[in-house]
Homo-oligomer: A and B are copies of this chain.
Amino acid sequence: MNALAALRTLVAATGLSLGAMLLPARCPAAETPTIEQWDVFEIELKGPSEGNPFVDVRFTAAFTNGTKTIEVPGFYDGDGVYRLRFMPEQTGSWRYETRSNRWPLTGKMGSFTVVPATGRNHGPVRVHNTYHFAYADGTPFKPLGTTSYSWAHRTDALEEQTLKTLAGAPFNKLRMAVFPQAHGIKTMPPPRWPFAGTPPHDWDFTRFNPDFFRHLEKRIAQLRELGIECDLILFHPYDDDQDWGFETMDPATDDRYLRYIVARLSAYRNIWWSMGNEYDFLRTKTEADWDRYFQVVQQSDPYGHLRSIHNGRLIYNNTHPWVTHASIQNGMATEDPGRAELYRDVYRKPVVYDELKYEGNHNLRWAQLSGQELVHRFWCCTVAGTYGGHSEYFENPEDLVWLGQGGVLHGESPARLAFLKKILDEAPAGGIDPIDKWQDPRIGGKAGEYYLVYFGRETPKSWPFKLYRDGLVDGMQFRIEVIDAWNMTTSPLEGVFVTKRKDRYFFADKDGRAVALPDKPYQALRIRYVGGAVAGDAQKAPVEP
């Protein structure tokens, strides 16, 4: 039983507010409950069930640690039960007081203690170093995402299989949708629906279906336990001919839905908000609608989880301050690092190519990539200082496709992406950036310390050791490994390469050594500083384009 479940059980058993209770498993001697930083502290209260509590009842709480006060929204969970979830971002003592327009829900007070996080708990992911990400505790987060839109709208057996697949896969971020999609609907109808009513479209949009959201939360919590960030898609255009009506709700319904899901889920540290998938294909909405959705979510979420929006053919204005990072669909842009890096400069934010096309054998060209091509694109993204996104679509008589339904993976890419992930994990904590921006986009890294050179479809027989001047002085020693991105081999070269200034722009090896390369595509070099002269001696390069 996890901490959240334990708290819930105690509250249910006693009918008391949490503030008066202990959490024995974690804090046997304390007088207040104890919770880990960035875990979920939940308040459960009984309240009115008459009328329509989803729209009639306001329920919030103010949490304070004495220096900071945070207003947190609660929500109605059906059957007269109200919940409120809080994700403490600071350790120490916290107290709270509820506020509601209903007497049973207002003025409830309590306190609890927040202790440091342990194990896999590093807090929520934030933007770090402009183009990259890190967990709240400073641990680097290097996204290696996949997509399975409807995996959490399937049978328990299939969902458990998906979780098992994820546990053995390299992915640390999963894009998934709140609303089901039409694909696969005939063989796999969704067992639950987000609103009260009867499918396909007899909904009471003023009443949510708590069972639907409890199930969604359970799956998101399981992703959290696997160390996987949930990039949750709030709207999408995939009703197709089902006419469920989730694409055409009125603005008040859209906003109530957003506030409800944010109230339920923002205390889950692994949540990212994706406003829409292929947002521009949802032609029932205007760009002003999307601006508003961002703002509603930003205002409702006390923790500022990451916010993005994913394009079809029309890229949203990701320079808006409410967008934390660019979530791009443009496969062509990831065929070449020189393309992939361009969005960095215009957004000055992390760029995640969540859809660089998918591995598969679909008849539509967005899902026809070979494993080699998908892996190639990930490498292009990597040396360009951006991040790729995986999924796959292998035709299946029952529409059992990873992109839509989860299940198992069939492609050749995941093993190679696991290999890439290991390289990313060993790369500088601050992330990989282009070394010689707008000049040689094949080289990313951290000047003077770490270089990743990716030759892509080129098949050079050798590479003259030559590095751009930033961070370099004469006499620095580097070790080089030749990497085969597809065959997953890493071959260290003998000896060290030693820098010597070659011309205004570059340093070469002092003995003019070059690196021999096999006559094959998808080769890379990892070049790491191992000693000799110190980079700090490097002159500041003059500013020039």
Contact = CB atoms under 8 A, between A and B. Distances in A.
A366 to B, nearest CB: 5
A317 interface: yes
Report whether over half of chain A's contact residues are helix, strand or loop; otherwise say mixed.
loop
B363 A313 contact: no
Contacts of A278: 545
Contacts of A543: 281, 312-313
A58 interface: no
A186 interface: no
B545 A366 contact: yes
Interface stretch (A224-232, A336-344, A515-523): A336-344
A544 interface: yes
Interface string A283-315: 000000000000000000000000000001111
Nearest to A326: B346
Interface in A34-85: none
Interface stretch (A22-30, A136-144, A205-213, A327-335): A327-335
A13 interface: no
Interface in A313-365: 313-315, 317-319, 329-333, 335-336, 338-339, 342-343, 345-347, 355, 363-365
A318 to B, nearest CB: 7
- Give the one of A330, A355, A363 with max B CB within 10 A: A330
Contact of A364 (B312, B314, B330, B544): B544
A332 B338 contact: yes
Interface string A485-527: 0000000000000000000110000000000000000000000
A393 to B, nearest CB: 13
A439 interface: yes
Contacts of A336: 336, 338-339
Interface in A448-496: none
Contact of A438 (B333, B338, B342): B333
A256 interface: no
A330 B544 CA distance: 12
A281 B317 CA distance: 26
A349 to B, nearest CB: 12
A194 interface: no
A437 interface: yes
A312 B346 CA distance: 13
A123 interface: no
Contacts of A363: 504
B342 A333 contact: yes
B366 A315 contact: no
Interface in A347-392: 347, 355, 363-366
A170 interface: no
A505 B365 contact: yes
A145 interface: no
B319 A317 contact: yes
A329 B347 CA distance: 16
A312 B438 contact: no
Contacts of A355: 545
Interface of A: 278, 281, 312-315, 317-319, 329-333, 335-336, 338-339, 342-343, 345-347, 355, 363-366, 437-439, 441, 504-505, 543-545
Given A336-B336, A364-B544, 18 more contacts: A281-B543, A312-B544, A312-B545, A313-B437, A313-B438, A329-B545, A330-B342, A331-B545, A332-B338, A332-B441, A333-B342, A333-B438, A338-B339, A339-B342, A342-B342, A342-B343, A346-B347, A365-B439
30 contacts: A278-B545, A312-B543, A312-B544, A312-B545, A313-B543, A313-B545, A314-B345, A315-B346, A317-B319, A317-B346, A319-B319, A329-B545, A330-B342, A330-B438, A331-B545, A332-B438, A332-B441, A333-B342, A335-B338, A336-B336, A339-B339, A342-B342, A342-B343, A343-B346, A346-B346, A355-B545, A364-B504, A364-B544, A365-B505, A366-B545
Closest 3 CB pairs of A and B: A332-B438, A315-B345, A342-B342
